[in-house]
Structure 1
Amino acid sequence: MAIVLVLVLLVVGSVAFHLFSPWWWTPIASNWSYIDNTIVITFWITGLVFTLVVLFMAYCVFRFRYHPGKRAAYQPENKRLEWWLAGGTALGVAAMLAPGLVVWKQFVTVPADASMVEVVGQQWQWSFRLPGVDGRLGRADTRTVTADNPLGVNRNDPASLDDIVIQGGELHLPLGKPVELLLRSIDVLHDFYVPEFRAKMDMIPGTVTYYWLTPTRTGTFEVLCAELCGVGHPQMRGTVIVDDEAAYRTWLQQQPTFSQSLALAQKQPAK
């Protein structure tokens, strides 16, 4: 009876903890409420299965508890039960996967009017690059990274010269405007994650990954690295500030271009 009571209390406590303690919830600040809905669906399905399985275990422990002289019945297989278990499991997995696949298609289908921001991960800091007045990002290559060009931006690409490079600082985004995030790492695996945006993606050396979002409220949000990337991983943090249109334009006009940053670096005396 003690084991039965423990199993029942495990179910009641787990359900109560989930319902009355919002341990995994943060106020959303982007258009990706679809991801919240997908998580909720997953919790309902897995929670129901967890509850039924544990309560069934409690029932079996109570119903088939030991009695003197009672012997167990040997039943090596049950085709009907196997079909029910296999079919139910398949339906449950499909019910969890289907919403995720729909949301994933939306996640990587970038709107035509989205602006671009390149996010560069490096042990253990974040850097950002925005297109200049031409609206295009210049080419970049990890092999061309130098002390005065830490992102490896191609100096000979005319589209690079007016790019805005923000190294180790704050990224500002305009409110209510879709933005495509191009994710690039110049050393090891990283993952760009803003919990309030409900959006994250691995950054893989040698390739560019991407997703898009639309910020839905102004504020300051912390950037985390969600992929273990070395001893400084816990300190790899940054800031995203969502501004209204006027504040965003003011901030953008204050940022130096790539060509201006190179000219400033060449004027500084060598150490």
Structure 2
Amino acid sequence: MANNVVRKRPLHRILLAAGMWLIPVVAVIFGAGNWLPPLASEHGAGIDGILRYLLITVGALLVIGHLVLGYFILRFGGQERVGPFRMPSARTERMWSLVPVVILALVAEGGVLVLGLPVWDKFYASAAPADSVVIEVTAEQFAWNVRYSGPDGKFGPTDPKRITLNEPLGLDRSDPATKDDILVLNEIWVPLGLPVQILLRSKDTLHSFFLPNFRVKQDAVPGMNIQFWFVPTKVGTFELACAELCGLGHFEMRGLFHVLPREEFQKWLSEQSPAQ
């Protein structure tokens, strides 16, 4: 007589499978929240779009993978003998080896090409508009040296050989273009709705210019003058942080980024004293 005894699945196997299914549920609950800081820049919507795209696509792969893994544990776990598992044919094996590669390539590279490149082009590849407010930012351990060009629209020349404790940027004070330059430490003031072009430098080691609310994060590399621009869309005071470990005082390298209405910015700018 045929043996029709149904084998019960052990409790530990059921719990393990349930745990596998619970992990993506918890990940989806936490990932679905609005965890990004409030947006305050024009191009930031594109950055957020890329992040959400990656979160949804990779999250879907996580859910599918754990559902399948939980099913395998429940269905095939506890077997006394596990033999070699082979596909019906070598062609089928090759196909199912390539399918995950194609899917992941589409998820990664498709997102970069369709969503990422337009944001990259606007942030780095395109020239800053003619009405941009140009600000030079020189990073050092552990401060942000900020310079505005003044009424003449020209930055005075700098020379590393001139750098001292009292002259952190090495300005040539004898040059006429330097006389109206405005220097600020650890604070940046910009107008609302106008393009802001940052000329980023470093005088000692790697730093990273990070404005979370503006979706701006750019390394400052010694010996390189890096330029990028963006448009602030929200009035307020925001945190400027260094996102690259740059020494023992890294935690102190913080600044403030102030966005003012245009009239208030012009008033602030006119009240500043040139570098002495």
Match of 1:197 in 2: 214
What per-residue deviation string (whole Å, max 9, x for no partner) do you get for residues 197-220 of structure 1? 111100001111121111111111
Q: 1:79 offset after TM fit, Å?
A: 0.9
1:106 corresponds to 2:122: yes
Report Cα offsets for 1:233-271 as digits up to 9, x if no partner: 11111111111122112211222212xx1xxxxxxxxxx
Shift of 1:156: 4.4
Contact residue 127 and residue 166 of structure 1 kept, 8 A? yes
Q: In the TM superposition, what are the counterparts of 1:1-271 in structure 2 within 5 Å?
A: 1-20=14-33, 22-23=34-35, 25-32=36-43, 33-68=45-80, 70-75=81-86, 78-98=93-113, 99-108=115-124, 109=126, 110-168=128-186, 170-258=187-275, 261=276
1:201, 1:210 within 8 Å by CA — same for their partners in 2? no
How many percent identity over aligned positions?
Answer: 35
Aligned to 1:266: none
Give the CA deviation at 1:124: 0.8
Superposition deviation, residue 18 in structure 1: 1.3
**Shift, 1:131, TM fit:** 0.9
TM-score by length of 2: 0.86
User: After superposition, what is the alpha-carbon deviation per residue over 1:58-84, rounded to whole angstroms, capped at 9, x for unaligned?
Assistant: 12212222234x542343861111121
> Structure 2: 5+ residue runs without aligned partners?
1-13
Preserved CA contact (<8 Å) 1:175 1:217? yes
CA distance in 2 between partners of 1:26 and 1:116 (Å): 25
Over the aligned positions, Cα root-mean-square deviation in angstroms equals 1.7
Deviations 1:36-75 (A, max 9, x none): 111111111111111112222112212222234x542343
5+ long unaligned stretches in structure 1? 262-271
> What is the count of residue pairs matched by the alignment?
255
- Quote the Cα distance in structure 1 between the aligned partners of 2:160 and 2:117: 32
**Higher Rg:** 2
Please, what TM-score do these two structures have when normalized by structure 1? 0.88
* Distance in structure 1 (CA, Å) of the matches to 2:175 and 2:99: 62
Q: Deviation per CA, 1:96-155: give whole Å up to 9, x if none.
A: 322222211111122233121011111111120011111122222333212232112233
58-67 or 241-250, which deviates more = 58-67
